[in-house]
Chains A and B, each alone.
Chain A
């Protein structure tokens, strides 16, 4: 079982709709969770971090964490074409090294 799993996509969402990205992790002791956005040919950019159960909102982005289900998600409201990118879920398990999923490619359709 992979430490961090994401659906590779591609996920296509109409402009203005909500994009929902999901991630599961295997280490129940994980404490820190992150979402990175990576445009083609660029390096990953940190967009959200979450450490406790529940929702965390930042502008059009909402991160959701459920430790009991070992599940973290990212919602993007009012999706824009500029949101088209690969989204990487990252987790810090007990081993303390940041571990990435393989990413979900998101395409926003104008």
Chain B
């Protein structure tokens, strides 16, 4: 089976702009979770989607949003970018039982 794919792999944006990141889970997996990873904070949970419904949400401002499509692909959007949003954004695919999750390669976002 192909693994989790994320696009784009790298992004450079300026403050105030918005960005959309995409994630395609492992075939057959219906759960997609998003994480932000920074050197200071480690891996922080953003949200989880299962069958197009948000199942869990982390403690991030409303500028961070997501959605999941009927084919399980997911997108994450960040509006009004801030310098502190610079991070590695990771998507993880699961079989929906909230147990094992498998990570994609990540999108490295730099906000200037």
Contact = CB atoms under 8 A, between A and B. Distances in A.
Interface in B93-112: 98-106
A95 interface: yes
B103 A34 contact: no
Contacts, number: 47
A78 interface: no
Interface string B42-53: 110100100000
Overall SS of chain B's interface: strand
A43 B105 contact: yes
Given A43-B90, A43-B104, A97-B48, A49 B42 contact: no
Contact of B43 (A34, A44, A46, A95): A44
A88 B35 CA distance: 14
A42 B88 CA distance: 10
A43 B103 contact: yes
Contacts of A44: 43, 90, 103
B100 A88 contact: no
B100 A46 contact: yes
Interface in B23-51: 33, 35, 42-43, 45, 48
B56 A97 contact: yes
B45 A45 contact: no
Given A88-B43, A102-B42, A32 B56 contact: no
Nearest to A99: B45
A96 B106 contact: no
B16 interface: no
Contacts of B92: 98
Interface of A: 32, 34, 36, 42-46, 49, 88, 92, 95-103
